[in-house]
Chains A and B, each alone.
Chain A
Amino acid sequence: MTVALKCEQVAKKIVKASPGAVIAADSTAIVVKSESLYQVAEFLKNTPALGFDYLANLTAVDYLDYFEVVYNLVSLQHNHSLVLKTRCRDRDKPAVPSVVSLWRSADFQEREIYDLMGIVFDGHPNLKRLLLWEGFVGHPLRRDYL
Chain B
Amino acid sequence: MAIRTEPFILNMGPQHPSTHGVFRMRVTLDGEVVVDLEPVIGYLHRGIEKLGETRTYTQIIPLTDRLDYVASMTNNFAYVLAVEKLAGIEIPERAEYLRIIMAETMRISSHLMAVGFFLNDLGAMMTPVLYMWREREKLLDLYEMVCGQRLTYNYMRIGGVSQDVPEEFMPAMKKWVAEMPRFIDEYDQLLAQNEILLARTKGVCILPRDTAINIAASGPVLRASGVKWDLRKADPYSIYARFDFEVPVGTVGDNYDRYWVRMQEARQSIRILEQAIAQLPEGEVCAKVPHLLRPPVGEVYGHIEAPKGELGFYLVSDNSIAPYRFHIRPPTLINLTALKDMVIGWKVADLIITFGSIDVCLGEIDR
Contacts and interface: CB of A to CB of B under 8 A. Distances in A.
B314 A57 contact: yes
Interface string A47-62: 0000001111101011
Contact of A1 (B235, B298, B367): B235
B42 A130 contact: yes
Given A28-B298, A55-B216, A56-B310, A107 B45 contact: no
Interface in A48-80: 53-57, 59, 61-62, 70, 72, 76, 79
B227 A59 contact: no
B41 A76 contact: no
A57 B329 contact: yes
B84 to A, nearest CB: 17
A140 B301 CA distance: 22
B312 interface: yes
Interface centre among B49, B227, B325 (most CB of A within 10 A): B325
Nearest to A142: B50
Contacts of B215: 103-105, 107
B133 interface: no
Contacts of A28: 298-299
B336 interface: yes
B333 A57 contact: no
Given A76-B227, A131-B42, A56 B50 contact: no
B337 A72 contact: no
Contacts of B366: 131
A56 B312 contact: yes
Interface residues of B, number: 34
Nearest to B303: A56
A84 B141 CA distance: 45
Interface residues of B: mostly helix, strand, loop or mixed?
mixed
B299 A141 contact: no
A70 B214 contact: no
B214 A59 contact: no
Given A53-B213, A57-B314, A79-B234, A132 B45 contact: yes
Contacts of B336: 108
Contact of B333 (A103, A108, A141): A108
Contact of A57 (B50, B234, B301): B301
Contact of A2 (B45, B234, B324, B327): B234
26 contacts: A1-B235, A28-B298, A59-B325, A59-B327, A61-B325, A76-B213, A79-B234, A83-B301, A103-B214, A103-B215, A103-B216, A104-B214, A104-B215, A104-B337, A105-B216, A105-B337, A107-B215, A107-B337, A108-B334, A108-B336, A108-B337, A131-B41, A131-B42, A132-B42, A133-B42, A141-B50
Pairs of residues from A and B, 9 with the lowest C-beta to C-beta distance, nearest first:
A105-B216, A2-B235, A131-B42, A131-B45, A59-B327, A57-B329, A61-B325, A104-B215, A105-B215
Given A79-B235, A116-B49, A130-B42, 12 more contacts: A53-B214, A54-B213, A54-B216, A61-B325, A76-B213, A103-B216, A104-B211, A104-B215, A105-B216, A130-B41, A131-B41, A131-B366
